[in-house]
Amino acid sequence: MDQLTMKTIVFSIILLLAVVSVVAIAYSIVNEQYVFLILSLAILLLLYLSLKYDILLQLKEYERAVVFRFGHYCGTRGPGWTIILPFIESYVKVDLRTQTLDVLPQKVITKDNIEVKVDAIIYYKVVDAAKAVINVEDYKKAAILYVEASLREIAGRMTAEEIISNVNAINEELKKELQNVAKKWGVEIVSVELKHVELPPDLMEAMHRRREAEQRKYAAMHEAEAEKLRIEAVKAAAEGLSDRALAYYYLQALRQIASGKATKIVLPLEVSTLAQRISAALGGAVSPEKVEKDLEGKYAYLLDEFKRMLEEKKSSGKENG
């Protein structure tokens, strides 16, 4: 049965009792039956008091009534129906559901003397209705004032950049500090969250520029590190090659140069130097004049092919001329 239906039934009963009382009063006056008159007046008075002072109180599953009798706490009632005695008892209804409190934006001064505007939101629920009514006058207002004071204290020992970078840590600290106080009020703090942190526009722009510069710096550092690794890899590979292998790759490069379309060829290394490298690879130091003879084995055919390609280039150049 919902609350509206119950109120309708109660109102119908009260109305019926009122009609019966009026009829009884009229009958008592006519027949001089004063006992019925007094009884009828008492019923009417009771009906009036029940309508004016909520004698019959219905409490939902998430509601509790903190009841006082002659000003002294006498218990917490609910959920369900309960009777409150008029002139003797009074009550305060408390909601046990999780609720929110908005902390209005306020300006705080950071450690580096920057004015920052911050606001927060508090999620809480009452776990002890009696403490929430008896131990504090207004736990909602008290919670807001405490968070505002805590925000000023925290901002005073942090820089503006630290506040922006440590929002989660600030939320946890606010929750912990507020919970230490709120437990005396019978209130559990679910969470405290900073909704917005607003810095001066010029400071925001400067921070954005600095972040961009840092990103470019890190990108350049990564690129340089990659280039360093590449060079070290090439160096390690080159150190692992024997002189014979180097001579072979050099001759292969000469073949590719000679096969090009250019009529003029500039050798990147002197022939004498090449001779010395190849001579060392073959064992023993030889003079440049001895290179051709020493290369008749493994490398001679490469030199012959290179000479042939040079001759073809010269012939082609003369015919075009």
Q: For residues 79 and 61, is the Cβ–Cβ distance under 8 A?
A: yes
Question: 134 falls in which pLDDT band (50, 70, 90)?
Answer: very high
Choose between 233 and 290: higher pLDDT: 233
Q: Which amino acid is at 310?
A: L
Return the CA Rg of the chain.
49
Please report the pLDDT score of residue 296 as a whole number. Answer: 47
Q: How far is CA 309 from CA 194, 259, 265, 320, in A?
A: 79, 7, 11, 17
Domain boundaries, the chain: 3-95, 99-199, 243-320
Please report the pLDDT score of residue 217 as a whole number. Answer: 75
- String of DSSP letters for 248-301: HHHHHHHHHHHTSS-S----SS-HHHHHHHHHHHHSS---GGGHHHHTTTTTHH
pLDDT digits (tens, 9 = 90+) for 305-315: 656 666 665 66
Among 2-6, 70-74, 131-135, 185-189, whose mean pLDDT is lowest? Answer: 2-6
Q: 70 by DSSP, 3-state: which? A: coil
Fold of 99-199: Tetrahydropterin Synthase; Chain A (3.30.479)
Question: 55 falls in which pLDDT band (50, 70, 90)?
Answer: confident
Rounded Cα gap, residues 170 and 155, in angstroms? 9
The average confidence (pLDDT) of the chain is 75
